[in-house]
């Protein structure tokens, strides 16, 4: 996430300190969301804003291609409903 411009801060009525704190919280929440899956990653793209599909379609296409290739290769994420000990036993 790029730093807020002075114009953006003014339009939402927040100080530099408040928008810096907001960015840290946003980054932490995104990192937490990425941890929900065993097949995920968080990728920061400094030269894009909220609509990454418009600003960096190349990266969106690359990520989708990676998912499709992973599925085609038969890679499967761990079953998050199954306890880790049971997953290890099933892998034997």
Q: How confident is the model at residue 80 (pLDDT cuts 50, 70, 90)?
A: very low
**What is the tens place of the pLDDT at every residue in 21-52?**
999 998 899 889 888 887 777 888 888 877 88
Q: Report how far residue 11's alpha carbon sits from residue 52's, in angstroms, rounded to the nearest whole number.
A: 22
Q: Which residue blocks in the chain are alpha helix, DSSP H?
A: 6-12, 16-34, 52-55, 57-72, 84-91
- Picking from 11, 10, 22, the residue whose alpha carbon sits closest to that of residue 2 is 22
Residue whose tokens read 């530099």:
16
- Picking from 3, 7, 5, the residue whose alpha carbon sits closest to that of residue 27 is 3
Q: What is the pTM of this model?
A: 0.57
pLDDT score recorded for residue 43:
83
């Amino acid at each position: 996430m790029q730093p807020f411009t002075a114009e953006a801060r003014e339009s939402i009525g927040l100080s530099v300190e408040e928008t810096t704190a907001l960015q840290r919280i946003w980054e932490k929440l995104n990192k937490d969301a990425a941890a929900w899956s065993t097949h995920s990653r968080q990728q920061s793209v400094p030269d894009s804003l909220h609509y990454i599909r418009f600003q960096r379609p190349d990266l969106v296409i690359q990520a989708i291609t990676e998912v499709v290739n992973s599925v085609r290769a038969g890679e499967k994420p761990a079953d998050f409903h199954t306890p880790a000990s049971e997953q290890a036993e099933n892998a034997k």
